[in-house]
Each structure stands twice: as structure tokens, then as C-alpha cells.
Amino acid sequence: MKVFTKICIGASVVLGGFAGNLLSHPQEAWAQHYPERTIEVVTHSGAGGGTDVTTRMMMLRGRRELHTDMVVVNRPGKGGAAALAYMMSQAADGHTLLTFTSGHATAIVLGLSDVGVGDLRAIARGTDDPQILMARCGAFDDGAALIAAQQTDSLTYGVTQLRGVDEVTAKLFAQRSNSTMPQLLVYSGGATLAQAVVDGAVQVAVLNYGEAGAQLEGGSLCPLIVLAEDRMSQLPNIPTGQELGVDLALSTVRGFAVHRDTPDDVVAQLEEALLTAMRHPLYQGYLTSVGLDETSVAGADIWGEQITAMVAEMQQSFEELK
């Protein structure tokens, strides 16, 4: 989910020659002097959330690759629509990036924003973080036991957002497992929700691995079902929903995008810099710490296709749940 050229010229003929080259190769001239100032990276979340942390981890090496400062601009509000609006209000010159997530896809689908997928241009993906159903250790023997319990009674599910991927996850899981719809309780963040499950305030949590790291490592919270195409490397013994007969794969995906009118050469420079930054051991260590691996990082082609597919899948999900 912004070029000024400083030139020392000794003769007017040199100026004329430069102007001719600028007109004949406008994007090349633009990219030669990019970046010229601090790059803003806009997020829809507050400081400390998963999106904010992912953005800052990318920026640690991104600054070095782009040879300029990078700052986070937090624009929470309207389910991601405020961040989309801010990014689109800035010049399309590569100095304003958006950390695009499933929340922005939801805002687009629900008509909360005037911005559409066609207004954005993908740069690179930073995380592909599967949704995981977790419960207090001992509450259910395994994922199959969770499904059996929910087919009998409505369970309380904790989520960190409504009208977004968490709500869609909880409701689609119930629907596709032929279970009763859950009662949803909303918490301010993943860490708060993880502790609420441990304390018995809710029976099941929709979380990402990194949001519950402390409780998972401490043995008080247990992952039961990973909603992904394949098992996670950090949770090799936890089955996917598809293995249990539930056709559902949803992730909290985060990546970077710019205004569609950003020059091609600037987009190429950004993609190369961000991919290099996120393939560095520093960022890879961050991925490992939140249960992910190097496959999370992908270039513009893969990320662009995923953004389009994510919006389409979110649209289908909301229609299915009507």
C-alpha cells in the first residue's frame, strides 16, 4: 500500500545539450538523480505493530542501498484508507512508498477508499505470514479436536481486527469446516490477544507466529492449524487446514508499493534496493524470529500478482460470507 537537478555549466551550449537529452530520455534522467531527499514509507498501523516492525526492519538496510534516509509515516484510520489516501496525495516520484497489507485490500473491497489496485505499482514483498489458529495448551488435543468441538458448539475467537483478514479467517474457517460461527472478541494487538488466550478470556486466537512468540516458546500457547498451502518451517509438526479437510489458506502479507505513475527506472531502482536489503542476513534473521523464511521476500512481478489476487480473494470471501 516526491527532482531537482544541480548542474554546474560553463557554456549555454552544454545546457542546450543537457536539455535535449532530458527530453529524449526523461526517465533515465530522473533516475540518475533519485533519490534526492528522505523517502517516506507510509503504514496504516501504529508504532510497534507487525506492519510497523516489518517496515522498520526493511529500512535498516534499505537506507544503505538507496543512500538516503528513510522514515516511517504512520497514517492509521479507516482500515487502511487513510494511508492509501496520503500516499496517493504525494508526488509520484518514488519518495513515498506504501507498506501494503491485506488491510488495504479490505479497504479497497469495502469501498472505504477511492484508490484501486490499478492506482498502485508493486515494488517487493517483505512477509507472507500465514494465519494460525492457536489455543491455550491442553484446551484441545490437536487441530482435529478443535474442529470437532466447533462443529458442536460456538467457540469464542479472538482477533485483532474486524472487517479484515482476521474476521474473514475466523468465519471462513467455520463455514468451510461445517462448524458453528464463532463469537468474535477484538483485541488491540497480537501480544494482547495471545495473553488473553493463555488467561482463558477466549478459546481460540487468529494469530501470526511472530505475534505469539513469547507464549509459544513458553509453552502456554499452542498452535493447532496453519492456514497455508504448506506447513511452516518453524512448525513442521502442525498440520495445515487443507490436511484436515478445510480448504482455506490466508496470510497476513506485507510488501511495498508506489503510485502507478512512478517512472520505470525509479521503480527498478527501488525494487533492486529493497530486495537486496531484505535478502541481507539482518532482515533474514528477523524473518526467522517470526517463524518465516527467505521465501517471504519476492520481487515486483510476484508481489504485483499477489496484490491483485488478494483483492479478488477478499472480494470473494465477503460475498461468500453474506
pLDDT single digits (tens) 11-27: 333 333 333 343 444 44
| Residue 73 in this model has a pLDDT that exceeds 50 | yes
Question: pTM of the entire structure?
Answer: 0.78
Contact between 143 and 244 (Cβ < 8 Å): yes
Q: What is the pLDDT of residues 148-198, one digit of tens each?
A: 999 999 999 999 878 788 999 999 999 999 999 999 999 988 889 999 999
pLDDT at 263: 97
Q: Using an 8 Å Cβ cutoff, are 223 and 132 in contact?
A: yes
Q: If you average pLDDT over residues 312-316, what whole number do you get?
A: 87
Q: What is the mean pLDDT of the chain?
A: 88
Instruction: Characterise 200 by phi-psi region: left (phi > 0), alpha (psi -120 to 50), beta (else).
Output: left
Query: What does R_g of the chain's alpha carbons equal in angstroms?
Result: 22
Residue 78, pLDDT > 50, answer: yes
Percent over 70 (pLDDT), the chain: 90
pLDDT at 1 over 60: no
Task: Tell me what pLDDT residue 32 has.
Answer: 66
* Burial tier of 12 (Cβ tally within 10 Å: 0-12, 13-18, 19+): exposed
List of domains in the chain:
12-128+253-320 (3.40.190.150), 129-251 (3.40.190.10)
In whole angstroms, what is the distance from residue 240 CA to residue 237 CA? Answer: 10
Alpha carbons 158 and 136: distance in angstroms, whole number: 12
H-assigned helices in 25-99: 26-32, 50-66, 81-89
